[in-house]
């Protein structure tokens, strides 16, 4: 027996779950997730911070639309999904150009002296800092509360989440997309491809041209809190050329080598050499040695060539909707992209400008082979 919905969503990460929750206000929606729980891959492994100035102009427009929802997530959570953190960007002499490039067009960034940077994060080596700037309004995102809140909203609206349901076969016939999975067969006139690092694989299975998605590994390391320091209120601190970044995390220090190594879609794990090299760069910038690694993990951040998400109906495949390529911006842009997905699928108006919607559209890949 085949279960019929108005909309099928492949992928139970934050992109798929948030979009499904928005759509379920006016449509029958079913989410198909490969794993035994939602948010298993990139969503569950995110550093999760809202930085207004993160990304290109299109992404910054998405950030602006998403921020009010994260602050007052009606129907998703009773309280704000954001908490104060701040982002401190430091630059050595070789990174001054990178810092200036980041600050160009940035909102809410304040230049501060190297001495002020060290006051904010006392383990930084003063002699390594030539310039610094801070975005005081950068905020941590409560990833689990956000993901589970959207999932609850989806179910409250009678949407369905089917786990252990990897797509085995995808076909289109007589105006309906059909997806065969071990958990059953499903069909709908609209199929949303929110499969993260696997989005091109899903497209290929559906006989839809790929958009050239490149999954990139990003590693994370949890270190003990530096002795004799209360790190609770430290900002996220990052080098202007993103050689590494760090922030407090549950009483410990989260450090990432900021790696971006292209890999095939898989259940990601950290590479020992990448971690060692990243920690070496971090150690050279701070006054405390790395004596122990408490935990490490990795996730996949998937980009297309222009590093802008791909959101919209495929130009050549009726009812096939792309919601992919969020890169490292998936958590903070999810509310905006979920709202846009609902607007496009249900033919409603969007808070985003036509120029931004066009910049996100898969139509920009219409010449792809």
CATH code of the domain containing 329: 3.50.50.60
pLDDT at 365: 87
pLDDT, the chain, mean: 95
Torsion over CA: 313, 316, 319, 320 (sign): negative
Alpha helices in 157-271 (DSSP H): 199-205
The pLDDT tens digits for 54-77 are 889 999 999 999 999 999 999 999
pLDDT at 246: 97
pLDDT at 230: 97
pLDDT at 193: 98
- pLDDT of 308 above 90: yes
**Domain shared by 170 and 297, yes or no:** no
**Domain shared by 287 and 219, yes or no:** yes
For residue 1, what pLDDT band results from cuts at 50, 70 and 90?
Answer: confident
- pLDDT of 322 above 70: yes
For 41-51, what is the mean pLDDT? Answer: 72
- Whether 75 is covered by a domain: the verdict is no
Per the confidence metrics, is the pTM higher than 0.75? yes
The pLDDT tens digits for 103-137 are 997 889 999 999 999 999 999 999 999 999 999 99
**Domain shared by 130 and 219, yes or no:** yes
- pLDDT of 43 above 60: no
Q: Which candidate, 192, 190, 185, 175, places its Cα nearest to that of 6?
A: 190
CATH code, domain carrying 132:
3.30.9.10
**Domain shared by 132 and 24, yes or no:** no
- pLDDT of 366 above 80: no
For residue 233, what pLDDT band results from cuts at 50, 70 and 90?
Answer: very high
For 282-310, what is the mean pLDDT? Answer: 96
**Domain shared by 123 and 55, yes or no:** no
* Residue % of the chain over a pLDDT of 70: 97
- pLDDT of 236 above 90: yes
pLDDT at 45: 59
Q: Which long-range contacts (CB under 8 A, 24 or more apart) does 122-129 make?
A: 122/229, 123/226, 123/229, 123/286, 123/287, 123/288, 124/90, 124/237, 124/285, 124/286, 124/287, 125/284, 125/285, 125/286, 125/287, 128/90, 128/92, 128/284, 128/285, 129/90, 129/91, 129/92
**Domain shared by 96 and 221, yes or no:** yes
- Whether 336 is covered by a domain: the verdict is yes
Boundary (domain end) residue, out of 267, 301, 335 = 301
Boundary (domain end) residue, out of 257, 286, 301 = 301
- Whether 168 is covered by a domain: the verdict is yes
User: Whole domain around residue 192: which residue ranges?
Assistant: 2-66+143-212+306-365
Ramachandran class of 207: left when φ > 0, alpha when ψ lies in -120 to 50, beta otherwise = left
**Domain shared by 264 and 311, yes or no:** no
| Total number of domains in the chain | 2
**Domain shared by 290 and 224, yes or no:** yes
Boundary (domain end) residue, out of 301, 326, 352 = 301
- Whether 55 is covered by a domain: the verdict is yes
The pLDDT tens digits for 252-267 are 999 999 999 999 998 8
**Domain shared by 44 and 57, yes or no:** yes
For 5-30, what is the mean pLDDT? Answer: 98
For 208-230, what is the mean pLDDT? Answer: 96
**Domain shared by 219 and 257, yes or no:** yes
- Whether 73 is covered by a domain: the verdict is no
For residue 40, what pLDDT band results from cuts at 50, 70 and 90?
Answer: confident
- Whether 162 is covered by a domain: the verdict is yes
**Domain shared by 316 and 186, yes or no:** yes
- Whether 240 is covered by a domain: the verdict is yes
- pLDDT of 46 above 80: no
- pLDDT of 44 above 90: no
- Whether 79 is covered by a domain: the verdict is no
pLDDT at 41: 66
> How many Å apart are CA 115 and CA 120, to the nearest integer?
9
**Domain shared by 297 and 320, yes or no:** no
């Amino acid at each position: 027996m085949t279960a019929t919905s108005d909309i099928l969503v492949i992928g139970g990460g934050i992109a798929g779950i948030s979009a499904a929750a928005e759509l379920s206000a006016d449509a029958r929606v079913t989410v198909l997730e490969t794993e035994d729980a939602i948010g298993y891959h990139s969503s569950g492994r995110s550093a999760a911070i809202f930085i207004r100035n993160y990304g290109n102009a299109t992404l910054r427009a998405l950030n602006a639309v998403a921020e009010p929802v994260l602050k007052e997530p009606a129907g998703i959570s009773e309280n704000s999904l954001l908490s104060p953190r701040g982002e401190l960007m430091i630059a050595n002499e070789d990174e001054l150009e990178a810092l200036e490039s980041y600050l160009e067009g940035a909102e809410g960034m304040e230049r501060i002296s190297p001495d002020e940077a060290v006051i904010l994060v006392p383990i930084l080596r003063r002699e390594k800092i030539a310039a610094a700037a801070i975005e005081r309004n950068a905020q941590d995102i409560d990833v689990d509360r956000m993901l589970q809140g959207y999932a609850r909203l989806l179910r409250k609206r009678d949407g369905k989440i089917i786990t252990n349901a990897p797509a085995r076969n995808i076909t289109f016939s007589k105006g309906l997309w059909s997806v065969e999975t071990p958990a059953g067969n499903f069909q709908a006139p609209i199929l949303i491809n929110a499969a993260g690092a696997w989005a091109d694989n899903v497209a290929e299975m559906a006989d839809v041209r790929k958009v050239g998605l490149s999954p990139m590994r990003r590693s994370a390391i949890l270190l003990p809190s530096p002795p004799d320091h209360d790190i609770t209120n430290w900002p996220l601190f990052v080098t202007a050329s993103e050689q590494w970044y760090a922030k407090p995390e549950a009483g410990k220090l989260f450090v990432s080598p900021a790696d971006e190594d292209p890999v095939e879609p898989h259940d990601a794990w950290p590479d020992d050499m990448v971690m060692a090299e990243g920690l070496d760069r971090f150690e050279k910038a701070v006054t405390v040695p790395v004596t122990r690694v408490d935990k490490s993990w990795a996730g996949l951040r998937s980009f297309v060539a222009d590093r802008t998400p791909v959101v919209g109906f495929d130009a050549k495949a009726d009812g096939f909707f792309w919601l992919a390529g969020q890169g490292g911006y998936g958590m903070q842009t999810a509310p905006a992209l979920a709202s846009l997905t609902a607007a496009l699928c249900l033919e409603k108006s969007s808070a985003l400008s036509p120029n931004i919607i066009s910049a996100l559209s898969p139509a920009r890949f219409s010449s792809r082979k």
